[in-house]
Amino acid sequence: MSHPRASDKSDRLITVGWAALARRENLFPGAVLLLVTAASWTYTVQQGRAMDEMGMAGQMDSRIAFFLLAWAVMMVAMMLPAILPLILLYRITARERTARSGAWSGMVALIMGYVVLWTATGLPVYAYQQIIGHVSLGGSIGPGLLLIAGGVYQFTTLKRSCHMRCSNPLFFLLRHWRPGARGALRLGVLHAIDCIGCCAGLMVALVALGAMNMAWMSTAAILIFIEKTLPGGHRVAWPLGVALIGGGLVVLATPWLGSVL
């Protein structure tokens, strides 16, 4: 688990970041971003229901363009609330250093950089979905191994270091601030890299359980929000890792237990 001193410093920075968001001028952009999140969830839920009606529960469209579109919207739904502190802290800083129009264009560029990189993570997911759709993996072997891999990742140094950076929006902004839309785009890409590194284990588990399964998707979104935005969120990592490894072992053992019983 993260070192106590580093964790305490992280919690203080998170608290400072949330306090900065209480400023009145962030109410409108914050509301707009929450509406975008709600619209993304609505679209994702509709897509999930459509897949269920087609007998493809938990799966996504097999056409790559539609798959990536659905994946991108799903990432907005799941991740936008978790990066809301960074976006609005960026807006505060940009308003103080540039014109208001520059702050808005910078916010859009930041979100675009973030979402484009997260959309790219859909490519290996698409490849996995195509493989399991055409190759026999022993039924539960593929999902079981993915769950175990996701759980093991929760204990890695890479996971901890990425979490330390992406869960501290104020520190991250001060370290990587660059002026203009190009600087905001760069900021979004860099934050997405750390965010992917932080959430990789959980996202791998989500793919194993069914990327369009609304119950698992909602659970993952809540865990991501807690881990990335709330003081003490780093404490979720180890119990989640244990749960994923245990779940993977159960999935792998289920066919064997069924044949024995």
Residue type for position 18: W
Say if 231 falls within a structural domain.
yes
Say if 143 falls within a structural domain.
yes
Q: What is the pTM of this model?
A: 0.84
Residue-wise DSSP of 32-96: HHHHHHHHHHHHHHHHHHHHHHTT-TT---SSHHHHHHHHHHHHHHHHHHHHHHHHHHHHHHHHH
Say if 145 falls within a structural domain.
yes
Say if 176 falls within a structural domain.
yes
- Per-residue pLDDT, 3: 42
Tell me 233's DSSP state.
Answer: G
- Per-residue pLDDT, 27: 80
Say if 261 falls within a structural domain.
no
- Per-residue pLDDT, 1: 42
How many domains does one find in the chain?
Answer: 1
Tell which residue, 156, 168, 154, has the closest CA to residue 6: 168
Say if 127 falls within a structural domain.
yes
Say if 51 falls within a structural domain.
yes
Say if 166 falls within a structural domain.
yes
Structure tokens that stand for 211 in this block: 């990327």
Residue 260 confidence (pLDDT) above 70: no
For residue 31, give its domain range.
4-254
